[in-house]
Amino acid sequence: MYELCGVTRRYRQGPSVIAAVDDVDLRIDEGEFVAITGPSGSGKSTLLTLLGGLDRPTGGQVIFDGVDLARQSDRKLTLLRRHAFGFIFQQFNLIPTLDALENVEAGMAPLGMRSRSRREGARQLLEEVGLDGRVRHLPSQLSGGEQQRVAIARALAKNPRVLLADEPTGNLDSKIGAEIIELIALFSERRRQTVVLVTHDAEASRYASRTFRMRDGRLLDDARLALAAAL
């Protein structure tokens, strides 16, 4: 599904240049659950934006289903983002003036469904994430964990190929955070959805098929980590 070759994202900051992502090679197969950990500033979010076509690398290739994302027009990238990639963020990013049901319906807009079946689908998704009693609540009337459940339902509503999650448990206490990770794992398994999860949560590696660690823009896999630890 994904094939990353020598992916680099440099930022120029005054006279200096930072390689936020530095020469990353990575292959992700359909249906995989990949977790990425690493210290603050190591390039995790930057890598995720490259995977989601929100940004282009300054070097290397991000191939998604045989298509080099760096070479796509803005229009093509927008279409890909709209249909293929679902995003979940630490801050939930729900629309504050819409209730839970309407937020999930908004996530279905790319599918161009009739409003009635959209409403039905959104209701069902909210039930699946355990919020059937909260469909008419505004985000401000929901707890953090509940808001993140709505955000998960919204991200999955268009049935994206890939779910990209950037520290979805960063604003939640550890018990609720573990529930959210479990929910993401459960959903992705049920729908054979590919997941790339950036997290500080050690819990995540229990569900991930592979866990990577980023350091200074570099991506280290389990084997290389073990090797580094042994030296």
Ligand X SMILES: Nc1ncnc2c1ncn2[C@@H]1O[C@H](COP(=O)(O)OP(=O)(O)OP(=O)(O)O)[C@@H](O)[C@H]1O
Note the residues at the interface with ligand X (CB under 6 A). Answer: 11, 13, 18, 20, 38, 40-46
User: Cβ(47)–Cβ(214) under 8 Å?
Assistant: yes
| Residue 110 binds which of ligand X, Mg ion, none (CB < 5-8 A, kind-dependent) | none
- Do 126 and 146 contact (CB within 8 A), yes or no? no
Residue with smaller CB distance to Mg ion, 45 or 194 = 45
Say whether 96 sits in a helix, a strand or coil. coil
| Partner touching 13 among Mg ion, ligand X, none, CB below 5 to 8 Å by kind | ligand X
| Residue 87 DSSP label | E
Residues 45-74 that bind Mg ion (CB under 5 A): 45
Please tell me whether residue 169 binds Mg ion under the rule CB under 5 A: no
Cβ 35 to ligand X shortest distance, Å: 13
Minimum distance from residue 94 beta carbon to ligand X (Å):
20
Whether the CB-CB separation of 128 and 156 falls below 8 Å is answered with: no
Identify which of residues 2 and 187 has a Cβ nearer to ligand X in the complex. Answer: 2
Per CB under 5 A, which region of 6-14, 43-51, 152-160, 181-189 contacts Mg ion? 43-51
Q: Choosing among Mg ion, ligand X, none, which partner's interface includes residue 188 (Cβ < 5 to 8 Å by kind)?
A: none
Nearer to ligand X, 41 or 110 (CB): 41
Strand partners of residue 214: 219
Q: Which is nearer to Mg ion, 37 or 103 (CB)?
A: 37
Q: Of 50 and 126, which has the nearer Cβ to ligand X?
A: 50
Alpha carbons 174 and 177: distance in angstroms, whole number: 5
Max CA separation in the chain (angstroms)? 61
- Report the alpha-carbon distance of residue 99 to residue 92 in Å, rounded: 14
Distance (Å) of CA 58 to CA 7, 54, 67, 75, 164: 8, 13, 17, 19, 21
Applying CB under 5 A, which residues contact Mg ion?
Answer: 45
